Amino acid sequence: MILDILFPNRCLGCNCIISADLLVCELCFGRIDFIHSGYFDDIFIKEKCRLLFPVENTFALMQFDKKNLSRKIIHELKYKSREKAGEILAEWAIERLDFKDQKPDLLVSVPLHPKKLKERGYNQLHLFTEKLSEFYGIPFDHDLIKRNQYSKAQALKNRQHRVKTEHVFSIIKSITEKNILIIDDVFTTGNTIASIAWEILNAGNNTVNVLVMAVDT
């Protein structure tokens, strides 16, 4: 209570004081560039994925741009120790995401290297994934995929470096004939997701789908 008074939660958009369980005020919420396309629609992210690997369905919650509010929200989640922001983003996704009668069998989020996980203290995708799992009744597995290489933040890399994702990930459990949803924060080149997708596809008769918090168009 005292900390709330001394250090009140402020809107990421306009800096006004808001409830501790919010990211933005009601006015700034209307400024977020949500993507109004469904899970089964043919949109930019699906087209990009299909150039890299076979994908069934895709969903992106927001557009990501250096100057818009979604960038501030994602950076707050990843770099400002706002792990709980993942739950809020999941609630926004749930309001817009309908699997209809084609729910995935398993949710898998992009893993961090153990060294990066220790540095950050949490994987920014875990609470988001767990919230979706609870709501839709779809199991998740945070340990299916292992990141083999430690690397600096994607935001600090140049484009040429970002495409070098071969052998970055490996599957450490047997998995076959599953319809898997891969979850990531920001879709840029798509190479990170593609690396994971091919590991899953090559592991057995699996299919893959993609869900991201934001897509850089």
pLDDT (tens digit per residue) in 50-101: 999 999 999 999 999 878 899 999 999 999 999 999 999 999 999 999 999 9
Identify the weakest region by mean pLDDT among 15-19, 31-35, 65-69, 109-113.
Answer: 65-69
- Are the C-beta atoms of 150 and 177 separated by less than 8 Å? no
Given this model, what pLDDT does residue 166 score?
65
One-letter amino acid for residue 178 of the chain: K
Claim to verify: residue 108 and residue 21 sit in the same structural domain: no
Claim to verify: residue 11 and residue 42 sit in the same structural domain: no
Claim to verify: residue 15 and residue 53 sit in the same structural domain: no
pLDDT (tens digit per residue) in 152-194: 655 444 555 444 556 799 999 999 999 999 999 999 999 999 9
Claim to verify: residue 1 and residue 101 sit in the same structural domain: no
Residue 42, classed as helix, strand or coil, is coil
Given this model, what pLDDT does residue 161 score?
45
Phi then psi dihedrals of residue 93, to 5 deg: -65, -40
Give me the domain span that covers residue 3.
Answer: 1-31
Q: What percent of the chain shows pLDDT beyond 90? A: 86
Q: What is the CATH number of the domain that holds 142?
A: 3.40.50
Cα–chain center distance at 30: 21
150 pLDDT more than 60: yes
> Could you give the CA distance from residue 7 to residue 28 in angstroms, rounded to a whole number?
20
The count of domains in the chain is 2
Q: Report the alpha-carbon angle 35-38-39, nearest 5.
A: 120
Claim to verify: residue 56 and residue 73 sit in the same structural domain: yes
139 pLDDT more than 90: yes
Claim to verify: residue 199 and residue 93 sit in the same structural domain: yes
Claim to verify: residue 17 and residue 107 sit in the same structural domain: no
Greatest Cα pair distance, the chain, in angstroms, is 55
Claim to verify: residue 187 and residue 81 sit in the same structural domain: yes
pTM: 0.91
Claim to verify: residue 176 and residue 189 sit in the same structural domain: yes
- Are the C-beta atoms of 12 and 76 separated by less than 8 Å? yes
Find residue 62's DSSP bridge partners: 34, 214
Q: Which residue's structure tokens are 């800096």?
A: 15
Claim to verify: residue 195 and residue 206 sit in the same structural domain: yes
Given this model, what pLDDT does residue 7 score?
78
Q: Greater confidence, 200 or 6?
A: 200
Claim to verify: residue 119 and residue 203 sit in the same structural domain: yes
Claim to verify: residue 69 and residue 51 sit in the same structural domain: yes
Residue 146, classed as helix, strand or coil, is strand
